[in-house]
Amino acid sequence: SAYLALLLAKPTGKVRDQLLFDFLGNQLRLSRDSAARGGIMQLAGNLQDPRFYDALSANNALLNRLRKGQQAPAFAAHTVDNQAVSLSDLRGRYVAIDVWATWCGPCRIQSPIFEKMAEKYKDQPITFLALSVDESLPAWLRHQQMNRGKAVQWRANGMQELSHLYGVDAIPRFLLIDP
């Protein structure tokens, strides 16, 4: 693009690196295949600051790991009855995941909508999974006692695992995984 050509023509330095990093990061997010991302990573070789290159490289690895045709990374969680479960327990079905927490206002607003979808599609080969990232087990259990719905309720072992495996950096976040 003209913007990229203009950036690459500028003298190297912090400002150029920041602008190039922002541009290439957006291009990575918009890319649809690993070949396009490979080209973007070649352009990232123009960055002077290795931290920018490392961040783009990590994002590229995440996108390649989550691309169509790859097996979804399994994460560990627990049920309300404290049974250990994993995403692999739901293999063979579509899984719609709502990553949320009891302390998250926007999560609590959209939760009834997710539950209505679970009710509407209860006879379809899809599992609606409400995956809490609450650190407070008592808060999550209190919420579960007051709000029984059709969605499967699990509590993740923390946001860090989901961040690493799926790039979840804010909630609410919705994921759709195929069989």
**Angstrom distance (rounded) from CA 78 to CA 87:** 11
Over residues 83-137, the pLDDT tens digits come to 999 999 999 899 999 999 999 999 999 999 999 999 999 999 999 999 999 988 9
Structure tokens at 148: 């029984």
**Per-residue pLDDT band at 34 (split at 50, 70, 90):** confident
Chain length of the chain: 179
Do the Cβ atoms of 152 and 130 come closer than 8 Å?
Answer: yes
pLDDT of residue 3: 93
Torsion angle defined by CA atoms of residues 68, 69, 72 and 73, in that order, rounded to the nearest 10 degrees? -100
Over residues 51-93, the pLDDT tens digits come to 999 999 999 998 888 888 888 998 999 999 999 999 999 998 9
User: Which of 96, 165, 1 has its CA nearest to residue 24?
Assistant: 1
